[in-house]
């Protein structure tokens, strides 16, 4: 089956990340954020600003090869001692998307009581996150604004799709 395209603009992503922050504000109790890099960097920054959280760390996890093919999940940058000394229930993990859940399983194993939040969720990974904003079908490929650029589009009258 061919993947469905779901392009997300900067404005839409910012709106969705702020909506995530609103939901997380109701949960509360977070003293630190862990952004799952690279996709979690932008939403983590937005959530940190909105919730007034100043302690932000990253965990570098790679689960895609060549941006579109899924590969083995590898931790490229571990959590800092600052995060590991906190009670994990005070830690908020933020990522842009949970897809199959492979990355989420690795991060959850390191911080089992942390609250895991993503902007978007697919059905296979959805049970691994605590809070998300939008669910998309498993066969949908999300095009994030940092992965795309503006290009000229020919007018419909000239044969453009």
Active site residue 130: no
Annotated active-site residue in 72, 96, 130, 139: 96
Distance, CA of 24 to CA of 115 (rounded, Å): 9
**What is d(CA 31, CA 142) in angstroms, rounded to the nearest whole number?**
30
52: left (phi over 0), alpha (psi -120 to 50) or beta: left
Is 103 labeled as ligand-binding? yes
From the candidates 99, 130, 139, 147, give the one annotated as an active-site residue: 99
100 annotated as ligand-binding: yes
Does 141 carry a binding-site annotation? yes
> Which of 3, 95, 130, 139 is an active site residue?
95
Q: What is the DSSP string of 66-104?
A: TTTEEEEEEEEEPPPHHHHTS-GGGEEEEEEEESSSHHH
Q: Is residue 114 annotated as involved in ligand binding? A: no
Let me know if 72 is a catalytic residue: no
Is 41 annotated as ligand-binding? no
Identify the H or E element spanning 158: none
Q: What is the dihedral of CA 21, 23, 28, 34, to 10 degrees?
A: -50
The annotation status of 69 as a binding-site residue, yes or no, is: no
In whole angstroms, how far apart are CA 129 and each of 70, 105, 133, 161? 20, 10, 11, 37
156 labelled ligand-binding: no
Annotated binding residue at 99?
Answer: yes
Q: Is 96 labeled as catalytic in the residue annotation?
A: yes
Annotated binding site for 5-phospho-alpha-D-ribose 1-diphosphate: 38-39, 95-103
| Active centre residues (catalytic) | 95-96, 99
Binding site members for guanine: 99, 142
Annotated binding site: 38-39, 95-103, 141-142
Binding-site residue numbers for xanthine are: 99, 142
Q: Binding site for GMP: which residues?
A: 99-103, 141-142
């Amino acid at each position: 089956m061919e993947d469905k395209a779901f392009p997300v603009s900067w404005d839409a992503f910012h709106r969705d990340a702020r909506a995530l922050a609103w939901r997380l504000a109701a949960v509360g109790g977070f003293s630190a954020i862990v952004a799952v890099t690279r996709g979690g960097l932008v939403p983590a920054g937005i959530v940190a600003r909105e919730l007034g959280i100043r302690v932000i760390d990253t965990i570098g996890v790679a689960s895609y090869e060549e941006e579109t093919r899924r590969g083995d999940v590898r931790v490229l940058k571990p959590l800092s001692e600052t995060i590991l000394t906190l009670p994990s229930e005070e830690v908020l993990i933020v990522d842009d998307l949970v897809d199959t859940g492979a990355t989420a399983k690795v991060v959850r194993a390191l911080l089992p009581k942390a609250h895991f939040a993503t902007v978007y969720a697919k059905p296979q990974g959805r049970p691994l996150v605590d809070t998300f904003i939008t669910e998309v079908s498993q066969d949908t490929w999300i095009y994030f604004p940092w992965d795309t650029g503006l290009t000229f589009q020919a007018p419909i009258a000239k044969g453009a799709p």
